[in-house]
Amino acid sequence: MPKVYDAVVVGSGAAGGMAATELCLKGLEVLMLERGPEYNLATDFYHHKKRYEFPFRGEIRPSERAMYNYTANAWNKKQFVNELENPYTGKKFAWVRAQAVGGNTLHWGLVSLRFSPRDFKAASYDGAGEDWPLAYEDVEPYYSRVEEMIGICGHADHLPNNPDSHFLPPVPFTCAEELFKSGVEHANSEWHVIHGRSATVTVPNFRGRAPCHYCGHCGRVCNVGASFSSAAVLLPIARQTGRLTLRTNAIAWKVLTDKEGRAQSVLFVDRLTRQLEEVYGKVIVMGAGTLDTTRILLNSKNEDHPNGLGNSSGVLGKYFCEQIMAGNITGLIPKLKGNSNRGGDARPEGTGFYIPRFRNLGKPRKDFLRGYGFEGGGGSMEVPGFALKIPGFGANFKSEVLKYYATVVGIGSFGELIPRAENHLEIDPVVRDAWGIPVVKFEVQWGPNELAMARDANDTQREIFKKAGIEIIDERTEPLPPGWSIHSAGTARMGNDPRTSFLNKFNQSHDIKNLFIADAACFVSSTEKNPTLTILSLSMRTADYIAEQMRHGELA
């Protein structure tokens, strides 16, 4: 007889990692499936290798460019899927997929924002979409537990639409950021420039973790675990319980059901041997990320579930949401030109500044609903992008670059995509990946509301710079393609009505009681805020519910 685990968790990133860890802590025996290999965080990455030590100065070899997503480089490419082996079809979409234990948390931007009370009930304010079946008060205890578990640095600003977290000390602003904040807030009382809120430890020995050592290489994977990743923070906790079994190189294909219609097992393909294997669980928890979770469940259709597993409502794959990245802008602060301060190039990600949403919180606009926020920073990276716009070469060129090094400031916008049924994913009827699994076809595009919001964000970023006295040197005003934010959500939304939602408010399938989704596929709306803190919190809440239901024999 095959072994039956208490839970099979698909995915090892934010959602899967948290669900597995919390279930292990509550006494359940968990099998985790991860499509990629496991790497040693201290030894298997090029943490501090310089650009000049790589061919092509750290860029992807031109002949390999088609194999990788837009975020890949010489430091991180081995942790992402090969795009040629893992195609997708349909409308233009940017899909960033990690392939390693820890998932996308290995390389994420660390920005950690709570959703606000208004965010969970946004439809009640403007009539667009649906309200969540839960309120901020239901999630707040889990926000607090997650923050105390993983560490969030930042500053309490007491803004109603941006609830404060339990903060570790923030990373100080650079000179450029201090001047930017002063100029912007003086120009408009609605514009707040607050410290970035980042999943980075800034104090010694936080739950046994080292503090950030300011190398500035978070995107290359933190070798001391100061910045949060599932691999560095969650999975070690799960392993200490002795109840976690990790199966790597397992590409989940479908969830299978038993004669009673319950979720019984996960069928996967071994990535290396290409052999089919099946693993069994009393509970199946999907945490593979919104898009892969949706793909797996759509591919799990059978005679009883012809439109995808648990999809009697027909909403699986529909109501996709994320953030539109409308534009960005870069400028120079004239009074800092020639300043010898070189600060800004070696800080953790997500710790610059944040300008929270200010649109449609009071008097509503007539041209679009919801709003956007700006993320940015001041100072320059190790290889400053603005240097490409300065003519010359050699010593004179370097001297000119250094004159501007501390003066640069830039922001980019993230605006809310309101879910619509026509923005959806489906399974391509013909195309399969290298392992024979049917692939996703994207039917997602920006609509009139997002494009109107993008125009306003671009106008506003220009207004902010001009009123703050910043000399504009570069600006992008065209929205990036869907998917670029890497904040995909909403394709298996929760709700109280089984006819219009896939999950209940505990992320449990309406149709199959032992099937759960722990990732952002459960989202009802995306907000303008980065989603990872909410994913972690809802995953923890889901694990609590599963353990309680199993204790009472409801899922046995």
pLDDT digits (tens, 9 = 90+) for 267-320: 999 999 999 999 999 999 999 999 999 999 999 999 999 999 999 999 999 999
For range 493-520, the mean pLDDT: 98
Cβ-count burial 19-55 (b if 16+ within 10 Å, e if not): bbbbbbebebbbbbbbbbebbebeeebbbeeeeeeee
In terms of Cα–Cα distance, which of 435, 81, 438 is closest to 275? 435
Range of lowest pLDDT (18-22, 56-60, 133-137, 443-447): 56-60
pLDDT score of 207 more than 90:
yes
Distance CA 364, CA 254 (A): 45
pLDDT score of 464 more than 80:
yes
* Model pLDDT, residue 47: 87
pLDDT score of 341 more than 70:
no
Cα atoms in the Cβ-side hemisphere of radius 13 Å centred on 374: 30
Vertex 194 angle, CA 192 and 199, to 5°: 145
* Model pLDDT, residue 556: 66
In terms of Cα–Cα distance, which of 141, 210, 201, 117 is closest to 167? 201
* Model pLDDT, residue 270: 98
Report pLDDT digits (tens) over 139-163: 999 999 999 999 999 999 999 999 9
Report pLDDT digits (tens) over 26-82: 999 999 999 999 999 999 988 889 989 999 989 999 999 999 999 999 999 999 999
Read off the pLDDT band of 528 (50, 70, 90): very high
Average pLDDT score over the chain: 95
* Model pLDDT, residue 545: 98
The DSSP annotation for 401-415 comes to: HHHHTTTEEEEEEEE
Read off the pLDDT band of 337 (50, 70, 90): confident
Q: Which long-range contacts (CB under 8 A, 24 or more apart) does 437-441 make?
A: 437/251, 437/253, 437/269, 437/299, 438/299, 439/86, 439/87, 439/88, 439/89, 439/295, 440/88, 440/89, 440/90, 440/95, 440/291, 440/294, 440/295, 441/88, 441/89, 441/90
**Which structure tokens are listed for 469?**
């006295």
Report pLDDT digits (tens) over 240-256: 999 999 999 999 999 99
